[in-house]
Amino acid sequence: MDHQLNPHHWVAAHADYLFGFAITRINDEELAKDLVQETFLAALEKVANFEGKSSERTWLTAILKNKIIDVYRKKSSGLQNKMVKEAEDEQSDLFNADDGHWVNNNGPKEFGIEDKDRLVSKEFEQIMQKCLQKLPALWMSVFTMKHIDEEATEIICTELKVTAANFWVIIHRAKLNLRACLQRNWI
């Protein structure tokens, strides 16, 4: 594998890809642009450390991924209890307190995303992004790392400083909130 990097071509060769990677994980255009720029700067500082064990794009993506995790950490460390309380209150209408079963018509419904229509898929992705943004910061970070980045649970717990038990509670609550949001806005 070629161990040579060509920083002069990074923007032309990788900026669009890196921006797309960032925007799907944080859904903030300005922050995504800043993170891509920070990625290029960090890569320039570490160019001597590149061992050529991966492609240039893979190496840059790994740097960007770490920058995104830093954003998640900052957002989750300042977790607003009010947002968590609001999200939990929204869930309380979903289950019967006595037996834990779904309340009346609040059970899962078909989303209709099985359709392979690209326009429908793009519309669904936009609604999904909006629903993700409504989650408390920690919940969004955990959900994104688990289901978009496909990180291992242990890595997520370590990076975001949450216990395994807390992780599973967060994932469960995030999924419930996303389902409710999608049912309100998609179906």
Q: How many residues in total does the chain contain?
A: 187
E strand or H helix that includes residue 123: helix 118-134
DSSP label at 148?
T
The first and second tokens of residue 148, run together, are 């978009």
Please provide the average confidence, as pLDDT, over all residues in the chain: 80
Whether 58 maps to a domain, the answer reads: yes
Alpha carbon 79 to chain centroid distance?
A: 16
The predicted model scores a pTM of 0.58
Domain span including residue 46: 7-77
Position 2 pLDDT exceeds 50: no
More confident residue, 2 or 25: 25
Determine the average pLDDT of the residues in 168-176: 90
Position 100 pLDDT exceeds 60: no
Position 60 pLDDT exceeds 60: yes
**Does residue 166 share a domain with residue 117?**
yes
Whether 1 maps to a domain, the answer reads: no
**Does residue 169 share a domain with residue 150?**
yes
Look at the chain and report how many structural domains it folds into. 2
More confident residue, 160 or 74: 160
**Does residue 91 share a domain with residue 72?**
no
**Does residue 134 share a domain with residue 59?**
no
Per-residue pLDDT band at 26 (split at 50, 70, 90): confident
Burial of 176 (0-12, 13-18, 19+ CB in 10 A): middle
